[in-house]
Each structure stands twice: as structure tokens, then as C-alpha cells.
Structure 1
């Protein structure tokens, strides 16, 4: 296929959709064969539910945002095109590239052969659209400003919450002593801290599954084995572990500052120390399961 026809076809496909779906024929014509005066940024992924790739969908969503941002600002540049190869549609391409994992992003340069740095390192850079834009800029010198679609869910939820709080204050306008209660504000602050430390915001942005089931063994996992992903159940587990360790520290503090009898204070010391030791060990075990090779543990492996 002549170069002019290639570019014209790619521009037509870009007009319809930011990402070009590559089958075997398109892969040969637009990526592997010469002549070519444009770069191709290709994501190899597996979006089928049967493949059970939990990180593929969020990575694809970020890649789509990047491609759409490029189309918005660089429509007529004709320098870079974004494409995807799905395993279910073109397994032969995965075999040609010797790929047994997904997702993977490769840069296919306009001239010369592909080099080691033409593969994006997700472990080091992350899977968000801004990291992908930096990778594209490093390989092609095309700088893309990431434009995310507006999300109105958060302002609506915040507005409803504010209205609910104001309504409660109005209903209890004659009895507002609880606003001066230090314990009340301390519990609210702890809930906010636990929510952010456990990864609730990450869940809100990425939308991960609650648990993950291995299709071969049918085993259900509540803790994801990768440092780049987490499950909703894992978030709740980590939140409970942090909260229990905090409760243990509070009991230890109360045993020192309390004015009760020595027997009660001794019980608080033992209970608080037991909570801290046991649940901090469990928290360290969760950390070790995600960061393979971490050498330290306490009570549990």
C-alpha cells in the first residue's frame, strides 16, 4: 500500500474514533510494512471477560483518554496514531510479538527498528493517561495535554452531603453542644484518614472489581498480587486493619492517662498491646503479599 493511501486511511479512521482497532491485516499494513513516516503507539490488551485481566480495562480507559486528547489538539499533525490489539481479535499478533501478558504499550517508530525503551514500563511510570503522555513525548517529541471528560458525580454527592448536614443542623438547632465535642470531631477525622489510607479514592477513580476469581482453580482472591492494582475487598480489609491498630494505640494511651483502678488499666494495656501486635502483623503480611521479596515480617508470613 502506498504511503499516501496509508496516511489517508489512518486519517479517516481517526476521524471516526481516537483508537484504531488492529486486526492481523491492519497490523501488517499500517504497523509492520514500509513505507511509514508516522509513529504508532499500540496497546496490546485483553478486554474479554473470559481472559480475566482486571487491570486491562482501567489501562484501556486511560489510553482512550490520551488518544482522544491527541485527536482534539493534533488532528492534522499526521505524526502519531494510537491503536489497540485485542487478544481475542488478533492472537496471531501476540504470538508474533512473543507476548504472554497484558496490557503492554509499544512505540513503533517512523524510521528504524524498535528499541528497548520503546516499551512503556508500567511498574515505574504507572498506567494513568499523564504517564502515557510522558512516554509518548519521550519517544516521539509530540506533547499531548491530557483532557479528561468532566465528572459531575463528585459535585452532586458533595452537594447532597452538605444539604444533609445543614438539614440535620437545622433540625437540632436548639441542641448544638455536640459540635464542641472533641471525641465527635476526632472520630470524623479518623474516618477520613482511614478512607484515604485504605485507597477509597483509588477505587472511586479506577472502579476495580470487588474480588477476583482464578478461572483455572476457581479460587477467590481478596488481595491482588500486584502493586499497581487493588480490589474493593482489599480496601475494606486494609481499612479494618488500620482502624484496629489505631484502637489498640488508643487503649494503650487510655491505660496510661486513665484514673480507674490498676486492674482495669492493666487489662487495657494487655488488650491494646495485643491489638497492635496482631493486627500490625496482619497489615505487614498484606504488604508482603503485594511487594514480592519484601524481607521483613512479624508474627505472620
Structure 2
């Protein structure tokens, strides 16, 4: 009887062992199929759009679910204007350049570009403890997130080249940034040259103005004003002309951060710089002539020049204080 009981026990253990091994093998195969399915879905989505938009459910499916043999570049953003994110659109455009460059290079199934908007995935923000936007994160295939897996935008910015370099450091994947060609500048420059050539042709019998020093001086001043006011930044970033404040709903002409600006702001800064330049020109002209008959005129020009420089330079410092919080200096205006 003991021998029979012993044999039954051994038989039961063998059956349990075979069942356990079969279950483990089945689980392993199921996990492999699930991973392959996820990769295929990601490839299909990335073929449709270089940046895969995720919500709470898709984030759990493609980013949180294990096992995972691919890296995910995740952008947390808030593109809805009511959210008041001033730089989200500009950062999204640069991120789009990176994702498009990756797809143009051929891409692979080891790296995917994704994005979560706050309005569609606020649970993702909460799980990652993100209380600001935009945020760029690298989710590795294995292991926990490290500090370096979050791009330090405040220190290095969010240009496409910067993002690509950071991705290469985190994943070892190098990519060449390819920007879409902009022929607008070439066309505008060509039209300008045609206009200048036509004007010179029509005035070919009276070209004395080409020797006018004041004309060249004002051209140089105009070029300096164009560059110092931020027009090139507008050309690259494409910011809005102005924007409503999310709480007060009032129009804002001056951006509240040093990381951005409005088109209207550049015109305001250009006008203030022009007024300061005119003030210095008037001071210089007043000091040039010292004849007795021009003393009264020179005095008026000197006073007007001083007022222009003092008032409009103070306005420039006031704008600078508004954009760079904590700047301690001011002159006439706070």
C-alpha cells in the first residue's frame, strides 16, 4: 500500500511539473506575440505620422507595458491656447523636425517618437509628476528613468539639433537634422534686387545720391534695428503677433518670459531703439556746430536728444525687467 501511495504521489508531482512548464512556455510565447503586436502597431502609426499621439490608454499600452525592446522619446505638452503654454508650439515644431528627420533617414523599430497633450493624457502627467510643459523624456527599453532621461530645456533649449544630440547620448542613435527648404527669403531677395536694379536704371543720369553718406548711415542703422529687435527670431520661430492672457483675457504685446516674444513686441522694441538712436544723433549734431547763430538751435536739439535718450532708454529697461524677473535696475520707469 505504501508503494502504491508513493507512486501516486510521484505521478501527481510529474503532472504538476508538466503543467507548470507548459504554462510557462505558453506565457513566454504569448508575451513574445504581444511584444511583436505592439511593435507592429507602433510601426504602422509612425508610418502614418512621424510623431505618435498618445492618450492615457495608449501610453499604458505602448510605453508602460513590459517587456519592451524599443526606446520611446516622449514629449509632454499643452498645445491648447487656453493652457497658456507660451513655448509649446515652438518646441513642438522643433520636435516635429527631429521626428521627420528620423523618418527620412529610414527609421527603425528600436526608436519611436511620441507625444502626450495634457488635455488628452493628464493621467500621464500625474504619473510622471510633470507640472510644467513642454517636457522631453527618454523612456529606455529596460530600467527606471534617470535624471539624464529628461532634457534640460532651461539649460540647453529645445532646438532640433539639441534634441537630436540628446537622443544620441541616451540611445546611441545618431541622426542628421533635415529642415524643409524655405524659398521665401530667396524670392524676396531676388525681388528686392530687381527693384534696386530698375530704380538705378531709371535714375541712371542722376546717381549723385549714391555718394550721400547720410543715406548709408541710415541704412546701417535700419539693419542694426532689424537685427537687435528680434526680427530674425520671428522668422525662425513664427510667434503670434500678440496673445490674450489666459486669465484676464487682455491682449498681451510683451511676452512675460525671456524664452519667447511676440511680433508686436519686436516692433515696440525697434521703435524704442530708433528713438534712442535719434536722440544720440541729435546730441551729436548739437555738438558739431558751435557758431553763435546756431547756439539756440543746438541747445534745443541737445535738450530734445537728452529727453529722447532718457525716456526711451528707461522704457527699454522696463521691458527688460518685465521679461527677466529679478533684474534689479531701473531708471525712470519700474
Instruction: Flag whether TM exceeds 0.5 (same fold).
Output: yes
- Segments of 5+ residues of structure 2 without an aligned counterpart are 1-30
Which residue in 1 is equivalent to 2:321?
A: 288
Paired with 1:100 and 1:178, the residues of 2 have a C-alpha distance of 60
Paired residues, number: 300
Kindly state the Cα deviation for residue 71 of structure 1 after the two structures are TM-superposed.
1.5
Aligned partner (choices 276, 288, 305) of residue 245 of structure 1 = 276
Paired with 1:107 and 1:218, the residues of 2 have a C-alpha distance of 36
Which residue in 2 is equivalent to 1:298?
A: 331
Aligned partner (choices 21, 26, 41) of residue 53 of structure 2 = 21
Aligned partner (choices 131, 141, 158) of residue 172 of structure 2 = 141
Aligned partner (choices 208, 212, 223) of residue 177 of structure 1 = 208
- Segments of 5+ residues of structure 1 without an aligned counterpart are none
Q: TM-score, normalised by structure 2?
A: 0.85
Which residue in 2 is equivalent to 1:279?
A: 312
Which residue in 2 is equivalent to 1:42?
A: 74
Matches of residues 29-178 of structure 1 in structure 2 within 5 Å? Answer: 29-76=61-108, 78-178=109-209
Kindly state the Cα deviation for residue 55 of structure 1 after the two structures are TM-superposed.
1.9
Paired with 2:253 and 2:87, the residues of 1 have a C-alpha distance of 15
Paired with 1:9 and 1:196, the residues of 2 have a C-alpha distance of 47
SS at match of 1:82: strand
Q: TM-score, normalised by structure 1?
A: 0.94
Give me the CA root mean square deviation: 1.6
**Could you tell me whether the CA contact under 8 Å between 1:54 and 1:209 is conserved in 2?**
no
Kindly state the Cα deviation for residue 105 of structure 1 after the two structures are TM-superposed.
1.1
Paired with 1:12 and 1:291, the residues of 2 have a C-alpha distance of 45
Which residue in 2 is equivalent to 1:193?
A: 224
Which residue in 2 is equivalent to 1:262?
A: 295
Kindly state the Cα deviation for residue 25 of structure 1 after the two structures are TM-superposed.
1.6
Paired with 2:252 and 2:152, the residues of 1 have a C-alpha distance of 26
Point out the structure with the larger helix share.
2
Paired with 2:283 and 2:170, the residues of 1 have a C-alpha distance of 55
Kindly state the Cα deviation for residue 100 of structure 1 after the two structures are TM-superposed.
3.3
Paired with 2:165 and 2:314, the residues of 1 have a C-alpha distance of 38
SS at match of 1:203: helix
Q: Deviations over 1:151-207 (max 9, x none)?
A: 111111111111111111111111111111111111111111101100111111211
Kindly state the Cα deviation for residue 117 of structure 1 after the two structures are TM-superposed.
2.2
**Could you tell me whether the CA contact under 8 Å between 1:54 and 1:208 is conserved in 2?**
no
Return 59-68 or 288-297, whichever deviates more: 288-297
Paired with 1:27 and 1:231, the residues of 2 have a C-alpha distance of 34
Paired with 2:313 and 2:330, the residues of 1 have a C-alpha distance of 10
Paired with 1:137 and 1:189, the residues of 2 have a C-alpha distance of 42
